[in-house]
């Protein structure tokens, strides 16, 4: 079965540094998402992306965050200046159609640790 791939699986960074988390969605999917999960807590929506623009973002997704689809396959999440509270597991997801009708396929995540 096709899958969403994320790299790296673990990322350790110093507070204030920039990080880029990378994702390769399933090839025929058109909708892309970033979620995060702090250990032991629920999966929180960050942003959705369709047709090369942000469709929806949460209050967590402030000016320090940005997303990009630099080519036909990659989808990235950039955190410009990391904070301690950004430490979490970040999941990329994709869906073939609109989220109302389609299931989301999640990648295995990037564990971000901000020191």
Partner 1 sequence: GQSLEQPSEVTAVEGAIVQINCTYQTSGFYGLSWYQQHDGGAPTFLSYNALDGLEETGRFSSFLSRSDSYGYLLLQELQMKDSASYFCAVPISGGYQKVTFGTGTKLQVIP
Q: What is the 3-state secondary structure (H, E, C) of 3-41?
A: CCEEECCEEEECCCCCEEEEEECCCCCCEEEEEEECCCC
28 lines the binding site for partner 1 (CB under 8 A): no
Instruction: Figure out which of the listed residues 13, 50, 60, 64 binds partner 1, where binding follows CB under 8 A.
Output: 50
Q: Which residue lies nearer to partner 1 by CB, 9 or 81?
A: 9
Contact call for residue 34 and partner 1 (CB under 8 A): no
* Cα gap 58→87, rounded to integer Å: 17
CA 17/CA 97 separation, integer angstroms = 35
Stretch that binds partner 1, among 19-27, 61-69, 72-80, 97-105 (CB under 8 A): 97-105
Q: Choose, by CB under 8 A, the member of 48, 67, 68, 76 that binds partner 1.
A: 48
């Amino acid at each position: 079965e096709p899958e969403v791939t994320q790299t790296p699986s673990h990322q350790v960074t110093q507070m204030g540094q920039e990080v880029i988390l990378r994702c390769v969605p399933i090839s025929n999917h058109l909708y892309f998402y970033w979620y995060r999960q702090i250990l032991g807590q629920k999966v929180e929506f960050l942003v959705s992306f369709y047709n090369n623009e942000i469709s929806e973002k949460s209050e967590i997704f402030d000016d320090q965050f940005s997303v990009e689809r630099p080519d036909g396959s990659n989808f990235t999440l950039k955190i410009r200046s990391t904070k301690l509270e950004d430490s979490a597991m970040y999941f990329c997801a994709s869906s073939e159609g609109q989220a109302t009708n389609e299931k989301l396929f999640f990648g295995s995540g990037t564990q971000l640790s901000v020191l």
